[in-house]
């Protein structure tokens, strides 16, 4: 098939490269000339595991070609499918649909009657509701016939985007305007390559299914974070509790990792935008408001605890943050908890040195947070500090020989913001360890102060000492996902 992908950001570039790998002839169109030049030179504007090699392969055999916006007519003229994947964030936690509208104005009049238009960007429901009318009016205005218009929301995670594209759990098609089913048929053929159910439905349902999936994932994380606080009050260990919960298939074991909460360009933005949009139409959204509030609380809680562990109020407190990206496998700093936490600690008068394995994340963080110092290695970051905070669970932090690092910080104290390190290993290496909702292995359960909360002095029989795997001298990492 001949496919054009408009917009080569995270979503568009992954889509274009994977479709080219599936054997299609793909034209990728990018409006940003700097980004286009980098792509043509073989350099990607962001880090995504495996994508650089894939792009190199599919550009070498010319199954993927890059085009500027000026070359749009060439890119789309013979396309069976044109996929639009332009940005819809305003950079301040809100939606912006201007780029999408401008793109449609430019692309829609160029398409032949046999081309299907597919929108892959995540958009607000009100915009989706008007999409059929918008495209129809552009076609009518140009005096040309209607075309099939569909949504194809993406469910790929940064850091695992190639896997998620190639092995999806489900493919969703939202029918915007497709009277004779030609658009749905071509998309079903396109996704014939994957072993996943293809679910076709009205566009608004498809758009909400994408939104609802992210809102539910965010809700699970905030639930786990509130649960972690309850566990601390009861002296329970949240790792054991969610392990037990996860064995129930009705609950599932993913996205229950407590810590500093969710970041990135999707979950925080979609939760806060849904709350705001609900308020605008007079609908209260108390559950999602709480999800948002808990998520923000986690960042403050982390800064509070790290500051306290470092020696609360002492002059010249110096802390290290391990990890800056919003999650491992990416250099993305969009709504990364690290930035809020670093700014908060600096505002309290702490000195903050951060390290992330991604040099691009280090450079950008230093620009975004005035006063933040970045180090070229984890060892350099923790040298002489009063406390260490783990912010992103990069595997290398779990694989470090913590015993050998024991002498580097001024105080050997680790606050694990991702509950990713093995507490016993850290303590065996001579560190004081604190996680979120975790019982310190060598210290008694925290006393319960609230009179209303019943105190269980004996652990429940089903709770084992610690569900984390036994490890050798170096702590190894239990990854969140
Ligand atoms: C999310 C969804 O997971 C994807 O399915 C969706 O396609 C994508 O948004 C999107 O809308 O484009 P992503 O933003 O890449 O993907 O990141 P997630 O893997 O969802 O992680 C989000 C945040 O939650 C990260 O900061 C992560 O550290 C945090 N998290 C995740 C937790 O705090 N606890 C967990 O148990 C899991």
**What confidence score (pLDDT) does residue 312 get?**
60
Residue 115 · residue 146 · CB < 8 Å: no
* Residue 226 within a domain: yes
Of all atoms in ligand 1, which is nearest to the CA of residue 214? 2
d(CA 478, CA 476): 7
190 and 243 part of one domain: no
Residues forming a β-bridge with 359: none
10 and 51 part of one domain: yes
* Residue 116 within a domain: yes
The finding on whether 110 has its CB within 6 A of some atom of ligand 1 is: no
**What confidence score (pLDDT) does residue 54 get?**
98
**What confidence score (pLDDT) does residue 441 get?**
65
* Residue 452 within a domain: no
Q: Given ligand 1 and candidates 217, 392, 417, which is best to mutate, with the most ligand atoms within 8 Å of its CB?
A: 217
15 and 139 part of one domain: yes
The finding on whether 393 has its CB within 6 A of some atom of ligand 1 is: no
* Residue 468 within a domain: no
What range defines the domain where residue 157 resides? 2-196
d(CA 281, CA 273): 12
* Residue 476 within a domain: no
**What confidence score (pLDDT) does residue 95 get?**
85
92 and 130 part of one domain: yes
d(CA 24, CA 454): 63
25 and 127 part of one domain: yes
* Residue 474 within a domain: no
252 and 124 part of one domain: no
Annotated active-site residue 266? The verdict is yes
**What confidence score (pLDDT) does residue 168 get?**
97
- Encoding tokens for residue 260? 């500093």
* Residue 204 within a domain: no
Instruction: Report how far Cα 139 is from the mean position of its chain's Cα atoms.
Output: 36
The finding on whether 481 has its CB within 6 A of some atom of ligand 1 is: yes
d(CA 171, CA 155): 9
The finding on whether 263 has its CB within 6 A of some atom of ligand 1 is: yes
Active-site residue, selected from the candidate residues 266, 336, 412, 477: 266
For the chain (481 residues), the mean pLDDT of every run of 10, in chain order, is 97 98 98 96 94 98 97 96 94 87 97 97 91 97 96 96 97 97 98 96 96 97 98 95 97 97 95 90 95 98 96 79 97 97 96 98 98 98 98 97 96 97 95 92 44 32 29 29 28
Residues forming a β-bridge with 198: 171
Domain end point (choices 169, 196, 223): 196
The finding on whether 255 has its CB within 6 A of some atom of ligand 1 is: yes
276 and 157 part of one domain: no
Burial class (CB in 10 A: 0-12, 13-18, 19+), 368: middle
107 and 164 part of one domain: yes
The finding on whether 22 has its CB within 6 A of some atom of ligand 1 is: no
The finding on whether 336 has its CB within 6 A of some atom of ligand 1 is: no
223 and 355 part of one domain: yes
**What confidence score (pLDDT) does residue 480 get?**
28
Can you give the CATH number for the domain in which 113 is found? 3.40.50.720
- What string of H, E and C letters represents the secondary structure of the chain? CEEEEECCCHHHHHHHHHHHHCCCEEEEEECCHHHHHHHHCCCCCCCCCCHHHHHHHHHHCCCEEEEEHHHHHHHHCCCCEEEECCCCECCCCCECCHHHHHHHHHHHHHCCCCCEEEECCCCCHHHHHHHHHHHHHHHHHCCCCCCCEEECCCCCCCCCHHHHHHCCCCEEEEEEECCCCHHHHHHHHHHHHCCCCEEEEEHHHHHHHHHHHHHHHHHHHHHHHHHHHHHHHHCCCHHHHHHHHHCCCCCCCCCCCCCCCCCCCCHHHHHHHHHHHHHHCCCCCHHHHHHHHHHHHHHHHHHHHHHHHHHCCCCCCEEEEECCCCCCCCCCCCCCHHHHHHHHHHHCCCEEEEECCCHHHHHHHHHHCCCCEECCCHHHHHCCCCEEEECCCCHHHHHCCHHHHCCCCCCCEEEECCCCCCHHHHHHCCCEEECCCCCCCCCCCCCCCCCCCCCCCCCCCCCCCCCCCCCCCCCCCCCCC
* Residue 424 within a domain: yes
231 and 88 part of one domain: no
The domain tally of the chain equals 2
Residue of minimum CA distance from atom 1 in ligand 1: 157
Residue of minimum CA distance from atom 6 in ligand 1: 155
Residue 256 · residue 224 · CB < 8 Å: yes
Q: CB under 8 Å to 98, separation ≥6 — which residues?
A: none
Distances (CA, A) of 20 to 13, 118, 356: 11, 17, 32
Going by DSSP bridges, is the β-strand pair 81-84/171-177 parallel, antiparallel, or unpaired?
A: unpaired
154 and 280 part of one domain: no
192 and 240 part of one domain: no
Q: Given ligand 1 and candidates 51, 119, 221, which is best to mutate, with the most ligand atoms within 8 Å of its CB?
A: 221
């Amino acid at each position: 098939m001949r496919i054009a992908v408009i917009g080569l950001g995270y979503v568009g570039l992954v889509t274009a490269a994977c479709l080219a790998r599936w054997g299609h002839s793909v034209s990728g169109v990018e409006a940003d000339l700097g980004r286009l030049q980098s792509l043509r030179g073989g350099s990607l504007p962001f880090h995504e595991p495996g994508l650089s090699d894939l792009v190199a392969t599919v550009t070498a055999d010319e199954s993927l070609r890059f085009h500027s916006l000026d070359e749009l007519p060439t890119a789309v003229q013979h396309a069976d499918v044109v996929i639009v994947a332009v940005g819809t964030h305003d950079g301040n936690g809100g939606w912006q649909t201007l780029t999408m509208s401008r793109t449609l104005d430019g692309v829609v009049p160029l398409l032949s009657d046999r081309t299907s238009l597919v929108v892959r960007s995540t958009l607000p429901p009100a915009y989706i509701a008007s999409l059929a009318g918008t495209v129809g009016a552009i076609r009518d205005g140009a005096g040309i016939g209607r075309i099939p218009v569909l949504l194809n929301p993406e469910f790929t995670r940064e850091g695992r985007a190639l896997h998620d594209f190639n092995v999806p759990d489900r493919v969703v098609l939202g029918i915007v305007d497709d009277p004779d089913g030609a658009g749905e048929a071509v998309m079903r053929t396109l996704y014939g390559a994957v072993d996943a159910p293809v679910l076709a439905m009205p566009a608004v349902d498809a758009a909400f299914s994408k939104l609802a999936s992210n809102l539910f994932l965010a809700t699970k994380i905030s639930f786990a974070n509130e649960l972690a606080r309850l566990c601390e009050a009861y002296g329970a260990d949240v790792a054991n509790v969610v392990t037990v919960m996860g064995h129930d298939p009705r609950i599932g074991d993913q996205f229950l990792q407590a810590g500093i909460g969710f970041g990135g360009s999707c979950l925080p933005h979609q939760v806060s935008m849904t709350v705001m949009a609900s308020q605008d139409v007079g609908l209260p959204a108390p559950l999602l408001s709480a999800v948002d509030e808990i998520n923000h609380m986690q960042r403050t809680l982390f800064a509070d605890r790290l500051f306290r562990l470092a020696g609360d109020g002492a002059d010249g407190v110096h802390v290290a943050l391990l990890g800056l990206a919003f999650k491992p496998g990416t250099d993305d700093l969009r709504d990364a908890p690290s930035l809020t936490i670093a700014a908060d600690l600096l505002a309290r008068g702490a000195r903050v040195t951060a390290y992330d394995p991604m040099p691009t994340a280090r450079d950008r963080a230093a620009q975004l947070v005035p006063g933040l110092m970045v180090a070229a290695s984890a060892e350099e970051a923790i040298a002489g500090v009063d406390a260490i905070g783990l912010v992103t669970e990069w595997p290398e932090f779990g694989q470090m020989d913590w015993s050998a690092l024991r002498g580097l910080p001024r105080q050997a104290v680790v606050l694990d913001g991702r509950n990713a390190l093995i507490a016993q290993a850290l303590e065996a290496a001579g560190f004081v360890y604190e996680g979120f909702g975790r019982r310190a292995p060598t210290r008694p359960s925290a006393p319960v102060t609230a009179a209303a909360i019943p105190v269980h002095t004996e652990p429940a029989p089903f709770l084992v000492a610690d569900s984390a795997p036994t490890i050798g001298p170096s702590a190894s990492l239990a990854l969140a996902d």
